[in-house]
């Protein structure tokens, strides 16, 4: 299970950032407005740190580290593009009040993660 450690850390940090962002938005609007875009960037910084730690723990050489970093960066870019597309579509959709906000975001994230596991399975069997 150590291979999931970095992913779990990033997910926990992302969830905590979302909670802090929601609390700040409701209770401290001036501070929320001042921090603006910097709160979600905390998650990105953690993802970069996670890739760095993974490279060090795996004892990758320069080429493998560069390949791992580029592949991970492209994966995060793809995931962000997909999530931003989904969020744009969700803004136009009629969502029940009980699912608005974080619940619908978590549902969308789970569906997207299942699709990534599908792509992973296809890629593993394709390149055997």
Q: What is the pLDDT of residues 25-65, one digit of tens each?
A: 888 888 888 877 777 777 777 777 777 777 878 888 889 88
Q: What is the pLDDT of residues 57-99, one digit of tens each?
A: 888 888 988 888 888 888 878 877 888 888 888 888 888 999 8
% helix / strand / coil in the chain, to the nearest 5? 90, 0, 10
Residue 7 reports pLDDT greater than 80: no
| pLDDT at residue 39 in the model | 75
| 24, 32 Cβ separation under 8 angstroms | yes
Q: What is the pLDDT of residues 111-127, one digit of tens each?
A: 888 888 888 888 888 87
pTM: 0.57
């Amino acid at each position: 299970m150590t291979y999931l450690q970095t992913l779990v850390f990033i997910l926990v940090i992302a969830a905590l950032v979302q909670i802090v962002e929601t609390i700040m938005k409701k209770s401290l609007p001036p501070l929320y407005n001042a921090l603006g875009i910097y709160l979600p960037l905390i998650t990105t910084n953690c993802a970069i740190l996670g890739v760095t730690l993974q490279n060090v723990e795996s004892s990758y050489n320069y080429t493998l580290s560069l390949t791992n970093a580029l592949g991970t960066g492209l994966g995060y870019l793809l995931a962000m593009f997909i999530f931003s597309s989904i969020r744009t579509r969700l803004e136009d959709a009629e969502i029940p009040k009980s699912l608005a906000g974080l619940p619908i975001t978590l549902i969308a994230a789970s569906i997207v993660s299942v699709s990534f596991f599908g792509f992973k399975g296809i890629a593993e069997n394709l390149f055997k």
